[in-house]
Amino acid sequence: MSRMRCFVKLCRRLLDGADNAASYFAGACLLTMMLCLVLDVLWPRVFGSSLAGAYELTETLMVACVFLPLAWVERRGAHIRMLLIAQRFGLPLQHVVNAISNAMALFFFGVLSFQNWSYAVHSLSVREYYPGLIHFPVYASKILAAVGLTLMLLRVAEKTLSSASRLFKGDYSAQEPGEDP
């Protein structure tokens, strides 16, 4: 096997591992968020006062639940897609449309990732916090969103390079699991 193929395989493995880790972390955040909400409902009934910081923690965890698994879902091809028009095309044209849509997604997630990292770095540098009884850090949710969008950017870049490579080779046949036509 050539060195380039080994490198690509290694990069895919690392990206898959990062996707999995981010998704497991998002699942743990979801579980924590559910427990926090249950405690937030029960706490006043038992102790007579509200649970401080529950709202802020839930907001931060929600960001993790939304952004961190994006790349994992993309790897499996489970995002919502509109195939009404594209499935009427022949297989070669479907690959062209797929390559163009991947390139557009690459640009979109590149802009989002760049802007979110800029917000996260600024928020971290000023130590931005939610006002309230507990000063909960805002920068944590901004960093989680930036990490999730960066993973998605890397996944879309991998898919864009794969579809462009397949398009230039004229390989319109076998697809990897979770890939577009």
Query: pLDDT digit string (tens) for 23-42?
Result: 999 999 999 999 999 999 99
Average pLDDT over residues 5-25: 91
Q: On the CB side of 50, how many CA atoms lie within 13 Å of its CA?
A: 8
Please, which pLDDT band fits residue 177 given cuts at 50, 70 and 90?
very low
Q: What is the pTM of this model?
A: 0.86
- Please tell me the predicted confidence (pLDDT) of residue 1: 61
Say which residue, 131 or 72, is predicted with more confidence: 72
pLDDT beyond 90 at 134: no
Q: What angle do CA 126, 139, 51 make, to 5 degrees?
A: 115
152 exposed, middle or buried (CB, 10 Å; 0-12, 13-18, 19+)? buried
3-state secondary structure 66-104: HHCCHHHHHHCCCCCCCCCCHHHCCHHHHHHHHHHHHHH
Tokens of 1: 């096997």
CA distances for 33 relative to 4, 138, 147, 172, angstroms:
43, 16, 19, 44
pLDDT tens, 77-92? Answer: 877 776 777 778 888 8
CA distances for 85 relative to 73, 94, 102, angstroms:
23, 10, 17
Residue 129's SS3 state is strand
Residue 7's SS3 state is helix
Instruction: For residues 104 and 156, give the distance between their C-alpha atoms in angstroms, rounded to a whole number.
Output: 10
pLDDT beyond 80 at 176: no
Tokens of 45: 């009934």
Please, which pLDDT band fits residue 172 given cuts at 50, 70 and 90?
low
- Of the candidates 134, 137, 136, 139, the residue with the CA atom closest to the CA atom of residue 121: 139
